[in-house]
Structure formats: C-alpha cells, structure tokens
Structure 1
Amino acid sequence: MKLEPIDDALLAGEHGAAAARAMAFLVRYGAACGADRFIDIESAHIDGCLYHGPSSIDFARHFVDLGGKVRVPTTLNVAAVDVTHPGWHCGPPEIIAQQETLTRLHEQLGCLPTLTCAPYQRMARPRRGEHVAWAESNAIVFINSVLGARTDRYGDFTDLCAALTGRVPLAGLHRDEARRPEILLELPSVRAAGLPRDLYFAAIGYVVGRRAPGMVPYLRGLPLDASEDELKALGATGASSGALALFHAEGVTPEAAAMPTEGVKIEVIAPTEPAAAIASLCSAVEGEVVAAVCLGTPHYSIREFAQLNRAVEGRRRSPETEVYVSTSREIAAAVAANPAFDALRAFGVNMIVDTCTYLAPVVRQTSGLILTTSGKYAHYGPGNLGRRVALMTLERCIRSAETGAVATPC
C-alpha cells in the first residue's frame, strides 16, 4: 500500500498518539480491503456510540486516554436509550449510565452529540462526489444514493478511527468502478403494485434488498416525483433486507444518468412481489389488541411530522395504545416549540430522541401488537424486542390507535 506523507506523519505520532493508533488500525483494515492508497474524508458519522457492551466504552476511552480529537466534523448516531426520558425506558436500568458514559467519551473526542440516524436532515450535508466515512445503514445508503456523496460501509470502531485520522482506504464505494450498476431491476408502478404510496417505497426497498443482496442495483420505474422521505424509506428497508448501500434510480438519483447499463443483467419485479413483501411484514389480524404505534425508523423529518399532525387532527387516541415517534433533538425541539403541531400533543404523541424504539424498549404493555409504517422497524423489531410487529399505512396505524385494536385496511 502506498502511503502519502500525511499517512506517515499520522503513523509516526506527529498528530498525536491517538491518531497514530487509529491509523495503525486503518492500515491493517485497508490491507484487508485490498486498497492501494488512502484518501481524505470531509466528515464522519459514528455508529460505535450505541452501547453494545463494555468493549464500546473501552475502545472510546482508550483514545480519550491518548488525548485524541477527531480531525474532521463528526456526528453521532443513535444511542441505546433516550437518557432525557429515563422513565420511559423498559430495559435494564444500568444501560442508562453506561450509555451516558459512552456518549460523554465521544464528546470528549470532539464528536457532535447529534444522536440521530438521519443527520442529513439537520446537519451540513455531504456534497455530490465528496468522500466521507459514515456508519449506520440508512445513512450510508441515503448519502450514497440520494446525495451522491461517497462512503463505504463503515462499522463500529472503524468509523471512529477514520474520524481521528481524517483518512480512509480507497476501497469499496469510494471507487468509481464499485459504484456501477450490477443489476437492472424493472419496477412495477405504484398503481400496478396495488399499494398505497406510503407502503410502496418500503415494499420496493424490501424486494430490492432481497433480489440484489449486497449489490448496486439500477432501478427503472420509480416515481419521478419521489421525495427524500420516500427514498429514505426505500433505502433503509433495502439496507435491512439485503445490505443495500447504494442504488441508482433512473431520473431520480444524481448519479443515475451517468451510469452505464449496457450489458447489465435485467430482472423484472412482478407487480405481486411488493404486496407479498408487505404481507410478510404484517401478520396482524383485524381486531387484535394494539399496544403501541412506533414511527420514525429512520428518524422522522419535519415533513413527516407535518403529515402525522394532519393525520391525527381532530382524532382521539385510545388510552390503551401508546404512540411514539423517534427523531433528532433538533427536530423534536422545533416541533415542541411550534403551535402548528398542537394536534400531535392533543393525540398524545410521545417524541423519543437520541435513540429508536426498535432498539430501546419503551412500550409498557407487554402484550399486544406494535404497529409501524417502517419496513426497517418491521424487519428488526421482532428480533430486537421479542414482540410481534406489523407494517401498515399511517392512516391504518392511526385508526388502530383510536380504537386500541387493528383496524381494517382501507
């Protein structure tokens, strides 16, 4: 591997002992990836700030003890618990202090405590072609696909090393050739799929992930007016079902027009496949007791809060059903301060910050279904929480929350 003067300086400790240690890790990582050189990054997003056990704290504390500071703007992904609402936490109580320690250590390293899986909704967004080191599956696929920036799949600990050095191996999706389509998928339209629009994108993401696991797909037939929130839902669900890290959507995403598709294998997604994906993620039976509605996986945007506000206006929630929405601190504060969102408060919507309810158990009722509009939540929730989860439209979720039981489909 060819090292540039900055790489040698980092290894030699000229930028501190922490950066030297991190760079030594990255050299071994780069060799394993088959990289021949390193490149600069403009920012990092850390997933290792989510407490998984003592090793999480040990790793961060090691760099704090070495006097480390991040060399690029660095944001933090979600935590394992919402420490601002400790009374809502239904898991092991000791995790609250452990998570506070882990977050504090990352702050000492210079990381911004954004604690959101969707920093692209509030922070400075990477520009097209800009190299970054972002972890968290939905964030990776969003900035690669929707923004056209470049990050490989960075996981816990590697992400922090990249932030401490400002350097990453030129490997994976940082490379032009790795971003070329490997398969072209012809998609059914929203009408042909026979799905409401707010389920269509999650369904397509789930099918794409399953049909092209770990691949870069080129999608033909996606609605040209797809919003960022809809693309967010597609990418997050595809990342969950099939490690999707980059997709190109014809006429929609910024790199699609420049991508060669000649000779790429073409597969057609039948109109029945998206509906079958939804059915696999929704085992609800009409009339079943609903313990909670959990939204915001990935974190809710202001636009999504506005949609929810309209959906609940003038309606009353059953006292037996809780409603939680996960979002960032900044967006939660903006919603809380704006009287235009009074309908949310009247309906009894709880805003969870710094985490997500498919990770952090907050639903107090130990029986009954959890409903969600998120394909990612429906995919991971049962395994993480040991609860039955059902994916359905926002409108059906709200009608179910009104009665405390699964409503009929529209």
Structure 2
Amino acid sequence: MIELTETDWQLLRGERGQAPALALRILVRSAALMGASRLLNIEGAHIDGCLYHGQASLDFVERLVRDGGKVMVPTTLNVGSLDLMHPELFRGDKALQSQARRLMDAHLALGCESTFTCAPYQLKNRPRPGQQLAWAESNAIVFANSVLGARTNRYGDFIDLCAALTGRAPDCGLHVAENRYGQLVFALADFPSVRGSRDIWYAALGLLVGQRAGGLIPVITGLPPDTSEDELKALGAAAASSGAVALFHAVGITPEAPNLAAALGGRRPLAATVVVTRDALKSTRAALNRARAGDSLVAVSVGTPHFSLAEFAALEHELDAAPGPLRVDFYVNTSRFILWQLEASGAAQRLMRGGVQIVTDTCTYITPIIRHTRGLVMTNSGKWAHYAPANIGVEVAFGGLRECVQSAVRGKVWFDER
C-alpha cells in the first residue's frame, strides 16, 4: 500500500483536473512495482518522450493536453525527432516528420521548456547537490547523479511526464542516500593523462565500465585530477549506453566520492576490483571501430551528448591547426542554448564558414540528417558509436576529436599512433 498525502488524494479524485489524476494513478502503480512505500516531492523534470517512437506516444501526450494538463515543476525537454531550427536538414518520411512535430508541440502545450537537448545540465539553471528530480535520457541521468550530486532514478517515457504533471515521484532507488554507495571498484592502472588527446579514452572507459558493471554502481579510482566535466560527460554517456549505469563515483573528483571509503559508504564491494589497463581500453575502443587508417570517410558526427561551449572551443582550435579545409560533411549536435551563445560570440558563423553543420533539437544517430550513410562515419562519442550502426545503418570509425578533424580534412581515416 502506497502512503499518500491529502494533496495526492485530491489529485487522484480529479479535483485538479483529469490529466494529473491519470498521471498520479500511473505513478502510484509504478511506485508499488518499484517497491516504494510513498511518493516524494521533486523540483524538476527532464522528459525523454518528445522523441517520436510511434502513434502510442503521440496519443498519450495529446490526451494529457486535451485534459488540460500542465507541468507542476520546471520541466526541460530531451531531443525530438526533428531539428526545428534547421528543418531543411531532415531527410526522412514526410508523414513521420508531421507526427514528430505534433509530439514536440504537444509537450510545449503542457508547459515544458523548448530546450530539446540531451544535456540539460548545460543550461543556465543546473540542479544542485541533493535536489530531487525526475529525469529521463540516460546520459542526463548519470550526469545529474554522478557529477552534480542531484538525485534521480532512471525514468522512462511517460513516467517522467507523469512526475512532471504531479510534482511527485516514487521514493526509492537513487532518491535515497543509502542506495547511492558504490558497489564495484574499477582501478585504472595507466590511464592517459595528457589533455587534448585523451577524450577517446574516457569514452572507451565508459563503455568498458558499463559492460562490466551492468546495473551496479561503479567506483573509479585513478582518473586524472584535472578531469573535466565534458570528459565525465563522455564517460557517463558511454557507461549508460553499454550498461544500465545511472550513477558512478570518480574518487577525488565527483561530489560523493572524496575518497574510496566515502564512495563505498564504508561497505565492501560486491565483487572483486576490476583493474583497467590501457590495453583493455584499446580493446574496448577496437570493438566499436570498423576502420583502418587510410580508409575513405564520408562524414564526421560529434556532439553526442550535445556539445558544450568548451568543446566548441576545442573544435575551433583543432580546425585552426588542421592542414587544410574540411573535405567531408562535419556535423556537430548541440542545444539551442549553446548555439545562441555561439552566435552571440561569432563562433557559430566562423564554424559554418569552415564547413561545420550545427544540428540542434535532435541528434544524427536517431534522425535522418546525415547526407551520406553508405561508408564510414567517424565520431568521438562512445554513445554514438554504440547506437548508430543499428539505428541508421552506418559503419563507425571511432576516434578522438583531433582524429576526427584530421580525418575530415584528409577525407580518410587518420589515427594518432602516439
């Protein structure tokens, strides 16, 4: 039996409308299945269901709109199936395009913010440590829990929106402090420490951690102390793609892991420590890489998760240092919020003049945007490399940002053998 407040009962009785009544009924049933005895208040939500997967998703959200639903907490939106700012990029079915647009519009009608980004933690207002959230989108969940120290479970489509419409979520899982301690230790033996060429190894590490940890909470020792948020973003996104990781602790770096004992909560790990060597990282990278040096390239896609301002600055630096202009299509996925800042500084205009295509509101591994998909497409994203072959039928060359740029100006795959 779920313990409910008087406000919960008012919602269930429909005293505040039919949409929140439906949403809370779904939440109560979900809470029971998740083993929660009560609901808790949340202060924000991030919704994944604005990405069109079929008629059922559109029917559900449009029903909530017809019933007068409005979100009760600040609510951001994950990527949709379209780049609404650059509609000419869409290369798919017109009927699908129409349905996808209706779904995105329906979420806006519910009062969600038109963020359309998989990286809501890069927006102006970021969650604070300990703040209770209902976030969907795997990389956003793991970043919020791990890097920001906020608290959210892995919420899927519809449940996230139900939480936003009621301001409530099941009180269980990673919302609870005692459930957030690490369970499996990964000890890095010789992780690359030189900035500028190590981004690929954070993605490879994330893939390895996800594969080995599954749904356990990993604790990572041995990361460079100057590890950046973008590097942690790449690590978490990859771990959430290859496994079910929703929280990791990087000892001495992330907020709940000042030391190993604190990360483990004074408990013993559930399994033996996994020692991660550089050779193991190379093997993980090789498992997703379908290219050899010198192979012809048809495109590059980066920004999965969405590129930050710092990553755009790094991209400009690599382009300035490159031996020539881009010879293949070069796509960068980012948010409207980041794009507006790039436009204000003039960086967006410089990048576009240099041949870079900036994509907003969606991502190239889920939406038909890339012009040429027969052949190798290069990425520095573990998540993109993991999902794109099945989603859009491409073969992947997997390398760091510098390798992506150098390959793009050559028109052939180039790997930094150093």
TM beyond 0.5: yes
Partner of 2:204: 203
Task: Compute the displacement of 1:408 (Å).
Answer: 4.1
2: CA distance between counterparts of 1:78 and 1:184? 33
1:316-327 matched pairs, under 5 angstroms = 316-319=324-327, 321-327=328-334
2: CA distance between counterparts of 1:376 and 1:131? 26
Partner of 1:190: 191
Give per-residue Cα distances to partners, 1:136-163, cap 9 Å, x unaligned.
0000000000000000000000010000
8 Å Cα contact 1:312/1:343 also seen in 2: no
Task: Compute the displacement of 1:269 (Å).
Answer: 2.0
Task: Compute the displacement of 1:207 (Å).
Answer: 0.8
- Residue 319 of structure 2, aligned match among 304, 308, 312: 312
Give per-residue Cα distances to partners, 1:344-393, cap 9 Å, x unaligned.
23321010000011111212124221000101000001010111011101
Partner of 2:63: 62
Whether 1:246 aligns to 2:247 is yes
Distance 1:216 1:323, change over 3 A: same
Task: Compute the displacement of 1:204 (Å).
Answer: 1.0
8 Å Cα contact 1:76/1:114 also seen in 2: yes
Identity %: 49
- Residue 268 of structure 1, aligned match among 258, 264, 275: 275
8 Å Cα contact 1:50/1:78 also seen in 2: yes
Task: Compute the displacement of 1:191 (Å).
Answer: 3.5
Task: Compute the displacement of 1:400 (Å).
Answer: 1.2
1:158-307 matched pairs, under 5 angstroms = 158-191=159-192, 196-257=197-258, 258-259=262-263, 260-264=265-269, 265=271, 266-307=273-314
2: CA distance between counterparts of 1:408 and 1:208? 24
Partner of 1:110: 111
Between 53-62 and 281-290, the greater mean CA deviation after superposition: 281-290
Distance 1:128 1:366, change over 3 A: closer
Q: SS of 2:359's equivalent?
A: strand
2: CA distance between counterparts of 1:370 and 1:155? 29
Task: Compute the displacement of 1:190 (Å).
Answer: 2.2
Task: Compute the displacement of 1:185 (Å).
Answer: 1.5
8 Å Cα contact 2:339/2:348 also seen in 1: no
Q: SS of 2:91's equivalent?
A: coil
8 Å Cα contact 2:204/2:285 also seen in 1: yes
Task: Compute the displacement of 1:289 (Å).
Answer: 1.7
TM-score (norm 2): 0.94
Q: SS of 1:293's equivalent?
A: strand
Task: Compute the displacement of 1:2 (Å).
Answer: 1.2
Give per-residue Cα distances to partners, 1:257-293, cap 9 Å, x unaligned.
3332442232322332111111111121222221110
Give per-residue Cα distances to partners, 1:313-337, cap 9 Å, x unaligned.
1643344x10000000111122123
Partner of 2:23: 22
Partner of 1:121: 122
Give per-residue Cα distances to partners, 1:28-75, cap 9 Å, x unaligned.
000110110110000000000111111111010111111111110001
Task: Compute the displacement of 1:131 (Å).
Answer: 0.5
8 Å Cα contact 1:294/1:372 also seen in 2: yes
Q: SS of 1:313's equivalent?
A: helix
Partner of 1:380: 387
8 Å Cα contact 1:45/1:135 also seen in 2: yes
8 Å Cα contact 1:210/1:241 also seen in 2: yes
**Structure 2 unaligned regions, length at least 5:** none
Task: Compute the displacement of 1:81 (Å).
Answer: 1.8
Partner of 2:49: 48
Q: SS of 2:24's equivalent?
A: helix
Whether 1:362 aligns to 2:369 is yes
8 Å Cα contact 2:300/2:330 also seen in 1: yes
1: CA distance between counterparts of 2:171 and 2:340? 39
Distance 1:261 1:225, change over 3 A: farther
1: CA distance between counterparts of 2:55 and 2:354? 39
2: CA distance between counterparts of 1:206 and 1:236? 9
2: CA distance between counterparts of 1:26 and 1:408? 49
- Amino acid in structure 1 at the alignment position of 2:338: I
Cα RMSD, aligned residues only: 1.8
Equivalences, count: 409
Partner of 1:350: 357
**Structure 1 unaligned regions, length at least 5:** none
- Amino acid in structure 1 at the alignment position of 2:282: A
TM-score (norm 1): 0.96
Between 256-265 and 387-396, the greater mean CA deviation after superposition: 256-265
8 Å Cα contact 2:352/2:358 also seen in 1: no
2: CA distance between counterparts of 1:96 and 1:378? 25
Partner of 1:81: 82
